[in-house]
Structure 1
């Protein structure tokens, strides 16, 4: 466990790989922590210096009072990368992590030289949808939304596995205040205009069974960036790095090699 003191906030992070390795940053989804990537990292090529972290209100990071804004989440990530010396990095973001990737790339191209936008969108849902979910969590905790969330997140066969229950439990153990704070950040975010101005290598990854960010949304979002690529992982939902880690890692490896990262 390592905590980065950013002055007004402490973020839990982990770094793997050699000090002189190509910098790669992973940003996880709403309601998960940095363990989201555990199955993928061992399958990636050697020579990468990988940073994972828990965003505010998640995992072992601080739990500030909400609401949070997407600008705050982007700024948190920016400060963490500056503090740890992660510049000119390949940034891989899933769901809200992909929104952070879009915001950071628009703001700090010195930090981000390529992006992977996984199971995400330039805009995810509507204010009304998010407010309904936030109201439910404020009234009944994350138990009030867990079943509907798991239906959107995972393919039906995965629900029959033991691993499914571990991810369900991770979601339930996320601080409700952290979840609602980041939900508010998502509800107020629209990156269509800024993402369309990006000029950097970009890859979109979608899961065919994703009920949170369907493949068409991911394809549309990454398609805003000229020269981008898109990959679909079949029979996987919102977290293909969990349901199909081998295929996910193979897609990432192909992209990393194309960027000269390995």
Structure 2
């Protein structure tokens, strides 16, 4: 069921399905995208889970306050969401921006989490100069101006001309410029190498062999900060592997959930 919930002073658009007393899996979306990036994955997950998705601040149908945003604010959004839903002992699956939120949430509120999935993400992504250039472009011309450059990083050549890639292209183009720029600022100001290295919880890292935004070595470097974490490389997949290979992605996620006793 999709609805709005008040969290950290804003309205977040969420989808909350499955038994309310079941083990919870929470999904955090990537920069420029909304909860629909997980649509293909959910049908292939084990039955009996509570599956919670939400549009990040400034994305999708969630409220879009004036930016810039701080990563701490995005983490508090996720924290307030789980508190409002009375969810604890969850597995947080975060892709790109969502993976940074997962790290921050685990550092701040380990009581809420049983495990994390760091998907196509890192403790630090890009440089402030790169993010400022993107912010300037978005403020001048909107997110649509970025789509041609993003698609080769996000999808393999064989996939990027298909209908699913077109859906993502349109999704990015229609994001609020203020929300996109605000989230860019949050990523720009984040370096989680030290706090993430102190985490002690089950972790699965997932990377795409053809990812042009967060290459496999960058993802692995972050995952290796957490003792006992597992790293998986998806072949013939790029940055948005849940869209490009939903069944294979779901298989990795399902295996992790079973390994840690979440299903």
Instruction: Give the TM-score band, short-chain normalised.
Output: over 0.9
Q: Which residue of 2 aligns with 1:193?
A: 194
Separation in structure 2 between the aligned mates of residue 248 and residue 8 of structure 1, nearest angstrom: 33
Are the aligned partners of 2:7 and 2:80 in contact in 1 as well (CA < 8 Å)? yes
What pairs with 1:59-74 in structure 2 (closer than 5 Å)?
59-74=60-75
What is the Cα deviation at residue 136 of structure 1? 1.0
**Are residues 7 and 259 of structure 1, via their aligned partners in 2, closer, same or farther at CA, if it must alter by over 3 Å?**
closer
Point out where structure 2 has 5 or more consecutive residues left out of the alignment: none
Separation in structure 1 between the aligned mates of residue 85 and residue 194 of structure 2, nearest angstrom: 30
Indicate the SS of the match to 2:227.
coil
Matched, 1:138 2:130: no
Separation in structure 2 between the aligned mates of residue 6 and residue 156 of structure 1, nearest angstrom: 39
Separation in structure 2 between the aligned mates of residue 7 and residue 118 of structure 1, nearest angstrom: 25
Matched, 1:37 2:52: no
Q: Which residue of 1 aligns with 2:108?
A: 107
Q: Give me the TM-score of the superposition, normalised by structure 2.
A: 0.98
Separation in structure 2 between the aligned mates of residue 96 and residue 223 of structure 1, nearest angstrom: 19
Q: Which residue of 1 aligns with 2:213?
A: 212
Indicate the SS of the match to 1:59.
coil
In the TM superposition, what whole-angstrom CA distance separates every residue of 1:96-132 from its partner, at most 9, and x where no partner exists? 0000000000000111120000000000100000001
What pairs with 1:81-160 in structure 2 (closer than 5 Å)?
81-160=82-161
How many equivalent residue pairs? 262
Separation in structure 2 between the aligned mates of residue 201 and residue 142 of structure 1, nearest angstrom: 35
Indicate the SS of the match to 2:94.
strand
In the TM superposition, what whole-angstrom CA distance separates every residue of 1:214-253 from its partner, at most 9, and x where no partner exists? 0001100010000010000011110100111111000001
Are the aligned partners of 2:8 and 2:77 in contact in 1 as well (CA < 8 Å)? no
Indicate the SS of the match to 1:158.
coil
Are the aligned partners of 2:164 and 2:243 in contact in 1 as well (CA < 8 Å)? no
What is the Cα deviation at residue 149 of structure 1? 1.1
Q: Give me the TM-score of the superposition, normalised by structure 1.
A: 0.98
Are the aligned partners of 2:68 and 2:185 in contact in 1 as well (CA < 8 Å)? yes
Separation in structure 1 between the aligned mates of residue 252 and residue 83 of structure 2, nearest angstrom: 28
Query: Pairwise CA RMSD of aligned residues?
Result: 0.8
What is the Cα deviation at residue 5 of structure 1? 1.5
> Which runs of 4 or more aligned residues in structure 1 lie more than 3 Å from their structure 2 counterparts after TM superposition?
none
